[in-house]
């Protein structure tokens, strides 16, 4: 299967160029950086050690940020080459890493598409001393071309869903074994992934914990937070975050229960995909709720009473977590594995979510143990949990004891990565 992939991808340059053109027309590529997607570097390679971190998008890049801070402590004279594949992550990298991290230089490049020649061009220019692949970015040509150049590689915060693991075992077990053998170190975010990786032939997979536990908090625009607080005044807020279609009925039914006891309650829905905003607004209005769609109506003053605010604009989840005491987090009621609960708790907002939290098993277990998260199975349990949060005078305080676990996790990761990373300046 892997051999077939290599053959097909080698002949796929015209198709990949066409794909880039379509993405460019759809606003998903930066025209000024399109050549980077073909492995053409836009800046010179710096002198000294280059540690390459490859992350898919914003979530994986956020996971890498505490790791970059640790690398800065280890050797501020090195350079981190950070590659991602989306415009959103590129913009975020530009704002967060423009001045480096504690003296460590960070260069962002768009990741090359997985064509052997484009990957080879990328590697020939950057000549990384080590490569850290974040989570599940297993692009075969990129990995095999790196291995051919004797680049030491680690798979960090590795995650494989049950579905992906079963697919690898069924169709590509030999290819998976070959790819996984390229990594000197595989650090898994949960025990289930370690078991799957080992079953696929990884000889060096180990359970480590989820790096998202140590990621920095989401940004919360102070102006938006202030506007929200002015709109809300003293009203209790029920926040439904990162919701999917299967969450909609549950959320609106839970709100109906809350509204019956507290008619002043405001529901804020921030869907996982903002394009669903208009459809959610129609559902809300059909249920009889006075509804505000943020992209069209902005934020209405508290004097204009609304029941439901639909947030269909990007990058504002941090602000919503900042003004809510409890949030229902979507993605756990179907076979999706759930979404990241740490983002809420870091901003003093406790969470409830559905039973499927496979993507964040270790994180969820830690938060549940500290009373900052719990599982719910229906709208009645959601409403009950939110009501309890309304009546609780104690404000949760971030990750609490879990913060110490995050620091310990980072230290374990850095120790495990030591054989892969180049020697720091001044080491013997």
303 phi, psi to nearest 5 deg: -70, -15
Distance CA 21, CA 34 (A): 9
424 near 79, Cβ under 8 Å?
A: no
Q: Which CATH architecture has domain 222-400?
A: 3-Layer(aba) Sandwich (3.40)
What would the two tokens of residue 13 be? 């340059």
- Indicate if the pLDDT at residue 265 is higher than 80: yes
Give the pLDDT score at 378. 97
Domains 2-8+24-208 and 222-400 share a fold: yes
Q: Where are the domains of the chain?
A: 2-8+24-208, 222-400
Give the pLDDT score at 137. 79
What would the two tokens of residue 244 be? 């999917």
What would the two tokens of residue 196 be? 């799957």
Check residues 342 and 413 and name the one with the higher pLDDT. 413
Q: What is the pLDDT of residues 308-327, one digit of tens each?
A: 999 998 889 999 999 999 99
Per DSSP, 104 falls in state B
What would the two tokens of residue 221 be? 């625009």
Distance CA 336, CA 357 (A): 8
The sheet that has 185-188: what strands, in order across it? 105-110, 79-84, 50-54, 130-134, 152-158, 185-188, 205-207
Distance CA 301, CA 197 (A): 53
What would the two tokens of residue 426 be? 């001044």
Is 18 strand, coil or helix?
Answer: helix
- pLDDT above 70 as % of the chain: 95
Mean of pLDDT values over 346-364: 89
Q: Cα-Cα-Cα-Cα dihedral of 388, 392, 394, 395, to 10°?
A: 60
**Residue 136: which pLDDT band, with cuts at 50, 70 and 90?**
confident
- Indicate if the pLDDT at residue 18 is higher than 60: yes
What would the two tokens of residue 145 be? 């071309």
Distance CA 209, CA 158 (A): 9
Distance CA 329, CA 118 (A): 39
306 near 332, Cβ under 8 Å?
A: no
Give the pLDDT score at 400. 56
The CATH classification number of 2-8+24-208 equals: 3.40.50.11720
Q: Parallel, antiparallel, or unpaired: how do β-strands 50-54 and 130-134 relate?
A: parallel
- Indicate if the pLDDT at residue 147 is higher than 60: yes
Distance CA 62, CA 55 (A): 9
- Indicate if the pLDDT at residue 129 is higher than 80: yes
Check residues 369 and 123 and name the one with the higher pLDDT. 123
- Indicate if the pLDDT at residue 358 is higher than 90: no
What would the two tokens of residue 246 be? 């299967």
Q: What is the pLDDT of residues 237-264, one digit of tens each?
A: 999 999 999 999 999 999 999 999 999 9
360 near 228, Cβ under 8 Å?
A: no
Q: What is the pLDDT of residues 95-106, one digit of tens each?
A: 889 889 989 999
Check residues 319 and 217 and name the one with the higher pLDDT. 319
Mean of pLDDT values over 201-217: 88
pTM of the model: 0.81
Facing residues of 310 across strands? 269, 293
Distance CA 407, CA 168 (A): 33
Q: What is the pLDDT of residues 273-288, one digit of tens each?
A: 999 999 999 999 999 9
Per DSSP, 105 falls in state E
- pLDDT above 90 as % of the chain: 68
- Indicate if the pLDDT at residue 183 is higher than 60: yes
- Indicate if the pLDDT at residue 362 is higher than 90: no
- Considering only CA atoms, which of 95, 94, 99 is closest in space to residue 42? 94
104 near 79, Cβ under 8 Å?
A: yes
Mean of pLDDT values over 213-219: 84
Facing residues of 156 across strands? 134
**Residue 392: which pLDDT band, with cuts at 50, 70 and 90?**
confident
């Amino acid at each position: 299967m892997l051999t077939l992939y290599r053959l097909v991808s080698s002949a796929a340059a015209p198709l990949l160029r066409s794909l880039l053109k379509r993405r460019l027309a759809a606003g998903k590529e930066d025209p000024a950086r399109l050549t980077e997607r073909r492995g053409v570097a836009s800046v010179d390679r710096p002198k000294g050690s280059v540690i390459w971190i490859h992350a898919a998008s914003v979530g994986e890049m956020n996971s890498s940020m505490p790791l970059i801070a640790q690398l800065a402590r280890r050797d501020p004279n090195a350079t981190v080459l950070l590659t991602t594949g989306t415009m959103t992550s590129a913009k975020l990298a530009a704002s967060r890493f423009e001045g480096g991290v504690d003296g460590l230089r960070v260069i962002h490049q768009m990741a090359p598409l997985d064509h052997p020649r484009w990957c080879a061009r990328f590697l020939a220019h950057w000549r990384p001393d080590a490569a850290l692949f974040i989570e599940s970015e297993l692009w075969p040509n990129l990995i095999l071309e790196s291995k051919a150049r004797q680049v030491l590689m680690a798979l960090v915060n590795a995650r494989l869903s049950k579905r992906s693991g079963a697919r690898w075992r069924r169709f590509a077990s030999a290819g998976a074994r070959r790819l996984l053998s390229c990594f000197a170190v595989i650090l898994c975010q949960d025990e289930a992934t370690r078991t799957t990786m080992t079953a696929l032939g990884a000889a060096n997979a180990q359970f480590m914990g989820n790096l998202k536990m140590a990621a920095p908090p989401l940004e919360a625009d102070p102006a938006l937070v202030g506007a929200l607080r002015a709109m809300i005044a003293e009203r209790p807020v029920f926040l439904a975050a990162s919701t999917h279609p299967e969450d909609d009925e549950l959320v609106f039914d839970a709100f109906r229960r809350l509204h019956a006891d507290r008619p002043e309650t405001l529901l804020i829905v921030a869907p996982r995909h903002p394009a669903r905003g208009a459809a959610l607004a129609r559902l809300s209005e059909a249920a009889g709720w006075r509804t505000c769609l943020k992209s069209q109506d902005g934020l209405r003053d508290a004097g204009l009473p609304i029941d439901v605010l639909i947030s269909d604009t990007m990058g504002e989840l941090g602000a919503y977590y900042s003004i809510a005491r409890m949030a229902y987090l979507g993605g756990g009621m179907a076979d999706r594995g759930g979404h990241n609960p740490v983002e809420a708790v870091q901003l003093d907002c406790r969470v409830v979510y559905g039973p499927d939290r496979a993507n964040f098993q270790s994180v969820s277990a830690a938060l549940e143990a500290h009373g900052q998260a719990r599982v719910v199975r229906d709208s009645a349990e959601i409403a009950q949990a939110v009501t309890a949060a309304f009546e609780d005078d104690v404000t949760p305080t971030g990750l609490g004891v879990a913060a110490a676990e995050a620091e310990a996790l980072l230290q374990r990761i850095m120790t495990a990565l030591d054989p892969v990373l180049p020697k720091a300046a001044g080491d013997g």
